[in-house]
Amino acid sequence: MYEDFYGLSASPFRLTPDHKFYFGSEAHRKAMSYLKYGLYQGEGFIVITGDVGLGKSTMLAQLFSDLDEGQVVAAQINTTQIDADDAIRMICRSFGIGAPGDDKSALLNAFEQFLKERNSEGKRVLLVVDEAQNLPVRSLEELRMLSNFNVDGQPLFQGFLVGQPQFMRTLAHPDLAQLNQRVIASFRLQPMSLEETRDYIAHRLETVGWQGNPEIDASAFEAVYEDTGGVPRKINTLCNRLMLYGALEELKHIDRGVVETVVADMSEEAHRADTEFDAAPGPMSGDPNHPDLRPAGAALPAQPGSGYAPHLDEDASSRLEALGARVERLERLMADHEKALRDLIDVTVNQLAPTVTAQDEAAPEKRRAEGEEGDDEEPPHWSYFDPNPTSKSGGG
């Protein structure tokens, strides 16, 4: 919306990581130098940490855009809580490695063959792990084991581990001593300075064709820095709203007062959302007249001051409307999850169908061969779990 008003080719402050908007602050330049040093070394692990919103993912996107594909084969995974075996599967998938089987041994053999083939082509293999703080200790140790692959002493695999600061606590685990010995460099990102914040905003605007409209004075940059602390994601969120406000008000000049107005609006929205959530009646409110705590069929009290009058005032209506919107978003999310689960079930059923059909077709022949006697035979009983296996034999 505001892009048209200010003559911009795209949204300059979107939150999705995009290497075209990468800005090399002092901290980001240092972090990138460590990563490129790791590429030069061709072995071991580089660890980069930083708080949420400091631009780690955008930096990685820039790194991938800079890689020479003729020398480095790279893949990135964004981790969740995955165990060691699943980590191997995820790594193989990220590199497009097929294996004759799904067991760990087959996956490792396929991965080793992949490494040797890339080495014969004169290429190195790099794995970048984003959100590394989510990896369990066993999965990290598995990564360390992968770095053992070599040809005549030349390492075939290296990794960059990028995550939030708590990842360093995980690395301090006694079981990861050998992994720590293979970390050749580590660095922690920091927020930007006031000057960097100003240059960062100007860089993103200029990337989409900004030519001074709107004009942003020094006091506005200072106000943005004071509110965001130099954290890129917070700057993007605030500036996006700032540009929208400017377009709606048809502003050609943005100063501290405009920034403070937008900050106040955003704070009020956040406070109102928190208040609406806290004020929403629930069964834990302790009110015996709450509908969820009254006996079935009990009438709703209508006396003044009870809080449950038959009509709703404007404030209560707005709270219910906000709550309904939240429920609607949750329902859409659940529907998406249900669709994904059904798709997974369909794939599994399709894969199993040939086996089940073959078994069904063979069943009559098997029964005839065994001399089935008819319907007098007692049907089988299936039991997947017996919570008290000793009860049938009278055990205690």
C-alpha to C-alpha distance for 257 and 154, rounded to whole angstroms: 60
Are the C-beta atoms of residues 223 and 260 closer than 8 Å to each other? yes
> Of the ranges 43-52, 314-323, 355-364, which one carries the lowest mean pLDDT score?
355-364
Q: What's the pLDDT at 84?
A: 81
Q: What is the per-residue pLDDT across 342-379, written as a single tens digit (0 to 9) for each?
A: 666 665 656 665 554 555 555 555 555 555 444 444 44
C-alpha to C-alpha distance for 179 and 358, rounded to whole angstroms: 49
C-alpha to C-alpha distance for 238 and 244, rounded to whole angstroms: 10
Amino acid of residue 316: A
Confidence check: pLDDT of 102 > 90: no
Q: What is the per-residue pLDDT across 218-240, written as a single tens digit (0 to 9) for each?
A: 999 999 999 999 999 999 999 99
Q: What's the pLDDT at 81?
A: 75
Residue range 38-64: average pLDDT? 95
Q: What's the pLDDT at 1?
A: 81
Q: What is the per-residue pLDDT across 175-218, written as a single tens digit (0 to 9) for each?
A: 999 999 999 999 999 999 999 999 999 999 999 999 999 999 99
pTM score: 0.68
pLDDT, the chain, mean: 81
Which letter, b or e, does each residue of 47-68 get, where b requires 16 or more Cβ atoms within 10 Å of its Cβ?
bbbbeebbbbbbbbbbbeeeee
Separation of CA 211 from chain center: 35
Are the C-beta atoms of residues 105 and 88 closer than 8 Å to each other? no
Q: What's the pLDDT at 269?
A: 87
DSSP string, 329-361: HHHHHHHHHHHHHHHHHHHHHHHHHHHHHHHHH
Are the C-beta atoms of residues 216 and 233 closer than 8 Å to each other? no
Helix or strand run (H / E) with residue 45: strand 45-49
C-alpha to C-alpha distance for 293 and 91, rounded to whole angstroms: 51
Q: What's the pLDDT at 276?
A: 65
Residue range 155-167: average pLDDT? 96
Amino acid of residue 277: F
C-alpha to C-alpha distance for 132 and 56, rounded to whole angstroms: 12
Structural domains of the chain in order of their starting residue, each with its CATH number = 2-15+193-279 (1.10.8), 26-188 (3.40.50.300)
